[in-house]
Amino acid sequence: MEKVVIKATKRDVTGKKVGALRRQGKLPAIMYGHLIETTPITLNAVEVLPQLATLTSSSTVTINLDGIEYPAIVREKQRDPIKKRLTHLDLQVISLTAKMRTKVSIELTGTAPAVKEASATILSRLNDLDVECVPQYLPERFVIDISSLTEIGDSIRVHDIPKAEGLEILTDPEEIIVIAVAPRGEEIVAEADSEDTGPEVIGGGAKKEADSE
Torsion angles phi and psi, residue 103, rounded to 5: -110, 140
Q: How far apart are CA 186 and CA 195, in angstroms?
A: 15
Strand ordering across the sheet containing 100-109: 142-145, 100-109, 128-133, 168-169
How many Cα atoms within 13 Å fall on the side-chain side of residue 121? 10
Q: How far apart are CA 89 and CA 55, in angstroms?
A: 13
Per-residue model confidence as pLDDT tens digits over 138-153:
999 999 999 999 999 9
Average pLDDT over residues 108-133: 97
Residue 165: other Cβ atoms inside 10 A:
7
Residues 6+ apart with CB under 8 A from 176: 125, 126, 155, 156, 157
pLDDT over threshold 50, residue 33: yes
pLDDT over threshold 90, residue 37: yes
pLDDT of residue 54: 84
Q: How far apart are CA 103 and CA 133, in angstroms?
A: 11
pLDDT of residue 102: 94
- Residue 211 confidence class, pLDDT cut points 50, 70, 90: very low
How many Cα atoms within 13 Å fall on the side-chain side of residue 122? 21
pLDDT over threshold 70, residue 163: yes
pLDDT over threshold 70, residue 24: yes
For the chain, which residues make up each domain, given as ranges? 5-94, 101-193
Determine whether domain 5-94 maps to CATH 2.60.120.260.
no
Is-same-fold flag (5-94; 101-193)?
no
Q: Which helix (H) or strand (E) holds 116?
A: helix 113-118
Which superfamily does 101-193 belong to?
A: Ribosomal protein L25, C-terminal domain (2.170.120.20)
